Amino acid sequence: MSSLGPRRLRRDGIRELVRSVSIAPSDLIAPVFVDATIDAPAPIASMPGQQRLPVDAVPAEVGRLTDVGIGGVLLFGIPSSKDATGSRADASDGVIQEALAAVGSTPMVMMTDVCLCEYTDHGHCGVLADDDAPQAMTVDNDQTLPRLASIAISHAEAGADVVAPSAMADGMVGAIRRGLDDAGHAPVSILSYAVKFHSSFYGPFRDAADGAPRFGDRRQYQMDPQTPSSIDREVRLDIEEGADMLIVKPAMAYLDVVAQVASTVDVPIAAYNVSGEYAMVHAAAQQGWIDATAAALETVIGMRRAGASMIITYHAETIAAALG
């Protein structure tokens, strides 16, 4: 008898037939940076192939991503001006609000990031704590909640299908859900950054979105990678408050967390393949060390295998093209 065993199933044709993990363009969400201060697309040096877009270029970008089958677009805004409370974040003529209005009716699922870091002059994700508050508590949690709710409502009014709060403020999902419902936007979904770790992989994003903190860091409100015991509590609280879907961010170094969350909850899970992960692939590819497209595809397959229902990735268009 032949010694061949599992190898029989790796022949071309059979290999594809027995696969249990699939990936399609509709599983992918493409981040898009919209910049109110520019008139033409501007390349992002730390993220090869990515660019900031002016508002009037967003409809064509959404149309192009729709044509290749991408499932959703996640908008991030760079405002015309910044201040201590991020007042441009929920302005009716804000950059995200105008981008959504410019896109108008579309089959694409339009998602928006709900945070303050791109809009505040200090670069933190909420309203700063008073001077007499403990120094470690950089952001005032309770003052931040109504700001996040107001931003989410303004995005919904401009046409967002899904709002994605990323500030990691306690109670943010509940505040946003109540705000949306009271404003008549009950159909708008919440994709919560429920499990967002303090990470070194966010550097290129902060360059792209001009959202780096001007002092300190975000470890006081983002999760500690060495404290996995907090994961279940964060997830449970967000679901109880009304989250429809959850994000685990970053993804590559946290596939164990993706698997843990996906196996314990009954809501869809998004893995966020973040900017630093994207930049590493392109840096290696530029040296000729790896094939960027093959590495990107293998990366998102790993996230799907871990249990992610959808993947937010800057590789979205490249992967869609590779999948045909």
Check: CB of residue 70 under 8 Å from CB of residue 31.
Answer: no
- Give the integer Cα–Cα distance in Å for 180 and 243: 12
Query: What are the φ and ψ backbone dihedral angles of 6, each rounded to 5 degrees?
Result: -60, -25
Q: 29 with 66: CB under 8 angstroms?
A: no
User: Do 119 and 88 meet the contact criterion of CB atoms below 8 Å apart?
Assistant: yes
Rounded to whole angstroms, the Cα distance separating 39 from 42 reads: 9
Strand 109-114 relative to strand 162-165, pairing: parallel
Q: For residue 167, give every residue at least 6 positions away whose Cβ sits within 8 Å of its Cβ, in sequence order, or none.
A: 114, 115, 116, 117, 125, 126, 139, 144, 148, 193, 221
257 Rama sector, left if φ>0, alpha if ψ -120 to 50, beta otherwise: alpha
Residue 210, CA distances (Å) to 70, 83, 97, 173, 224 in order:
26, 14, 18, 25, 24
Cα(207)–Cα(187) distance, integer angstroms:
33
Q: How far apart are CA 292 and CA 300, in angstroms?
A: 12
Hey, which residues are catalytic here?
196, 249
Tokens 């360059």 map to which residue? 207
Please report the sign of the dihedral spanned by the C-alpha atoms of residue 176, residue 177, residue 183, residue 184: positive
Residue 311 corresponds to which amino acid?
I
